[in-house]
Structure 1
Amino acid sequence: MSHTDGTRDTGGLATDEFRSFGVEEEYLLLDAAHGAPTDLAADMVRSAPHSVAPAEREFFSSQLETATQVCRTADEALETLTGFRTALSREAADRGIVLAGSGLPPVGGEAAGTVTPKSRYRELGEQLRNAAAYQYVTGTHVHVEIPSPDAGVEVLARLAPWAPALLAMTANSPLWCGEPTGFASWRHVMNMSWPVAGFPPEFDSGEAYARSVEQLVESGVLLDSGVVTWLARLSQNFPTMELRIADAQLEAEDAVCFAVLVRALVDRALSEAEAGEPRPSIAHGLVNGAIWMAARDGLGAQLIDPLTARPEPAFDTLERMAASVENELRRTGDHDRVSRYLDRLRRTGGPARRQLERFEAEGLEGLIGLYRESSR
């Protein structure tokens, strides 16, 4: 339903409410001298100040994560993530390591990671074998409130056309084992080795989604429902949709800008579903093929529009995506912030390009400096 001020009702929210969201950030702990992953996550968790968001261990002992509280505004999320990065960067410096916002470590990936000593992680490592042994992948996960699982599957289907752009703008893992990979997001390629990967298929209902996940677990394909590693998924425990497509980001501001853009896309998707607009019709396999191309080229070339199967310059797609949710962004006060974000991406070429340029100009030492500067 449209209103005279240009805003919309979105998924049952009143016009003066903002849909809640949250951001999970994962980080790598890298040796400040040689850049390789360092198994100090447990030590960092113990020493994290109580005044910041909780620090948690991840699959490897060289990975750390945190999450914002349930947020309504970008400033809330930014305050939490900036506070965490600042405090934990100091703790890291005291230990001769760097808290790195990168989708993969630039060096050291040829050594199998140390699995965090939790029974679930150990069981997962045993199940996935060598597919898990080098999974130093770290991402930025955005959780957005949805009114129901039925609404959630509508959101998944309506986000699909924008998935390549969402990956391209957050691609931030161009290096692996000391060499450029030729991909903006090598993390995406590594993630494709999981039993369930890529963008999820289309579901008729929330019940159909839940049944599919249940079958994956019952069959033994997945250890449990928490290992649904689609690029977007519905929470089993909370009324949220989680987008997992983004690499870890160099800077907290970019992670937050991305999150509020995703929230706007969810708002738009729910409005379209409520208005009875049909879901986008996309040929089978085209979304994941277009995402793979986006992982390769990032913002440096063209993106494939899954709706038309035609390529267009990456920044044309980004501008079109932002324009499609202009009302939603203005409603939440995020329009100028996202506009500045897109300007920043256009100016720098995106985080993957920043990493490559620093590595080419200053080598590994310069790259470690970039991680340190960005998280400080």
Structure 2
Amino acid sequence: MSAAGQTEPRSFGVEEEYLILDRITGEPQDRAAALLWSDAELERRADREFFCSQIETATPICTTGAEADQSLADFRARAGEAAAAQGTRIVGTGLPPVGGEVAGTITPKPRYREIAEMLRHAAAHQYVSGTHVHVEVPDRDAGVAAIAAISRWSPALLALTANSPIWDGEPTGFASWRHMLMLSWPLAGFPHGFTTGDEYATGVERLVSAGVIIDAGMLTWVARLSEQYPTVELRIADAQLDHTQAVSFALLVRGIVERSLSEWSAGQPVTWPARADMIDGALWMAARDGLSGTLIDPATAETLPARDLVRRMAAYAAPGLERTGDTARVTEYLEHRLAVGSPAQEQLDRFASAGIAGLMELYAG
């Protein structure tokens, strides 16, 4: 039996955001509406994002990696063909490598306009594109327990998926510059200190009533409870070059949640492994260095080689991964990432050898 009394694998889903870039120059193109309106199936399966140069899709509710793989592969192929017909490319990267200095065009939806008005100039360059993972939880108390457990591994999770090292045509020195841009939102980093679903709800209500955010949908923490689904939503990852990597990452997250809820349902109290400042500081370091250097284990305040924290995390997730049959796939994913580095390193290597043209080839897959 799975954690919290489940007899079936815990369901999950993956949301992918994509940038629409010129096939040659790599600059953002305001083609989201034209792209989706060109194909009824694309319009059904995707939506426009904050800028007119972004779209988003989501898998259906999945219980296996194969289901998520199929959904994202089909969408990327279909959207890629439609984009090519318009001289653009659908790209899984956290930020456009060039053109970010130009203020983005806000998608003409009332909500987005309200957010842009609130953010003022902070909204101008938010080309941020991510991979969001939803994992089923039985209730919001369980969701808070899962978020607390995830916090320890958040630096490793960010380092594994950092994929936005280049901005305005230059390396930033950061593996995830997207993470740095997200820090300009009213709420950023990791939520902290909640021990029950009611505490979480009260905290969010206070943020809304104080005017810090418009509503709960504007929570830009890297992890949160979904307001639409009975899930924990991890928003820490940049958009990924390869959809199979995004799905493998999602399975890893599910394994962590599965382990944490097994312990929580057995009566362990919700505990936070570290203070908020340690967690957020460790995330900042992970955004800078990715897998290329050291990471901080927030629970122990140790600075250690990135691979060591990743392997601690894998050991923690192991019982959950075994329960869902994902051990082999996730192990292969982690070993691949440790061998070649974060996706950001792939971008940096290609940019160093072939410039923007090389990046566009890399994005094409």
TM-score norm. by structure 1 comes to 0.94
Q: CA deviation at 1:349?
A: 1.2
2:126 alignment counterpart = 135
Q: Does the aligned pair in 2 maintain the 1:217–1:223 contact within 8 Å?
A: yes
Stretches of structure 2 that go unaligned for 5 or more consecutive residues are none
Structure 1 residues 32 and 328: alpha-carbon distance in aligned structure 2, compared to 1, 3 A threshold: same
Question: Compared with structure 1, are the counterparts of its residues 234 and 67 closer, same or farther at alpha carbon in structure 2 (3 Å cutoff)?
Answer: same
Cα deviation code 1:261-309 (max 9, x no counterpart): 0001001111111223342431341000000000000000011000110
Q: Which whole-Å deviations, capped at 9, do the CAs of 1:223-277 have from their partners, x for residues lacking one? A: 1110001000001232111000000000000000000100010011111112233
Pick the aligned partner of 2:166 from 151, 171, 175: 175
Structure 1 residue 49 displacement after superposition: 5.3
Shift of 1:327: 2.3
2:16 aligned with 1:13, yes or no?
A: no
Aligned twin of 2:349: 357
Q: Does 1:286 align with 2:272?
A: no
Work out the CA distance in 1 between the residues paired with 2:95 and 2:109: 22
The answer (yes or no) to whether the contact 2:152–2:273 under 8 Å persists in 1 is no
Of 129, 132, 135 in structure 2, the residue corresponding to residue 144 of structure 1 is 135
Cα distance in 1 for partners of 2:205, 2:343 equals: 37
The answer to whether the aligner puts 1:241 opposite 2:224 as a matched pair is: no
- Runs of 4 or more, structure 1, over 6 Å off, are none
The letter for the 2-side match of 1:204 is T
Secondary structure of 2:4's partner? Answer: coil
Secondary structure at the counterpart of residue 57 of structure 2: strand
Q: Does 2:255 correspond to 1:264?
A: yes
Question: What CA distance in whole angstroms lies between the structure 1 residues aligned with 2:313 and 2:307?
Answer: 10
Partner of 1:330: 322
What is the DSSP-based 3-state SS (H/G/I as helix, E as strand, rest coil) of the residue aligned with 1:50?
A: helix
Asked if the contact 2:42–2:78 (Cα under 8 Å) also holds between the matched residues in 1, the reply is no
RMSD (Å), alpha carbons: 1.3
**TM, length-normalised to structure 2:** 0.97
Q: Tell whether 2:106 aligns with 1:115.
A: yes
**Alpha-carbon separation, structure 2, partners of 1:237 and 1:345:** 32
Number of residue pairs aligned between Structure 1 and Structure 2: 364
Q: Give the one of 215, 219, 225 matched to 1:224.
A: 215
Task: Give the match for residue 126 of structure 1.
Answer: 117
Question: In structure 2, what is the Cα distance between the partners aligned to 1:145 and 1:229?
Answer: 20
Match of 1:25 among 10, 13, 16: 16
Q: Report the more deviating stretch, 134-143 or 332-341.
A: 332-341
Is contact 2:37-2:43 (8 Å) kept?
no
2:155 aligned partner: 164
Alignment of 1:4-83 (within 5 A): 9-14=2-7, 17-48=8-39, 50=41, 54-83=45-74
Q: Which amino acid aligns with 1:286?
A: M
Counterpart for residue 215 of structure 1? 206
User: What letter is aligned with 2:154?
Assistant: A
Contact preservation (8 Å) 1:149, 1:206: yes
In structure 2, relative to structure 1, the CA distance for the partners of 1:165 and 1:221 (3 Å cut) is same
Q: Which structure 1 segments of 5+ residues have no match?
A: 1-7
Tell me, yes or no, if structure 1 residue 297 matches structure 2 residue 289: yes
Paired with 1:226 and 1:354, the residues of 2 have a C-alpha distance of 33
Aligned counterparts of 1:317 and 1:127: Cα–Cα separation in 2: 38
Find the counterpart in structure 2 of residue 99 from structure 1: 90
In 2, Cα distance between equivalents of 1:102 and 1:370 = 10
For 2:249 and 2:76, how far apart are their aligned partners in 1? 17
Aligned partners of 2:2 and 2:328: how far apart in 1? 22
8 Å Cα contact 1:53-1:68 kept in structure 2 = no
CA distance in 2, matches of 1:52, 1:219: 36
Over 3 Å counting, the alpha-carbon distance change for 1:92 and 1:51 in structure 2 is closer
State how 1:192-211 maps to structure 2 within 5 Å: 192-211=183-202
Please state if 1:313 is matched with 2:316. Answer: no
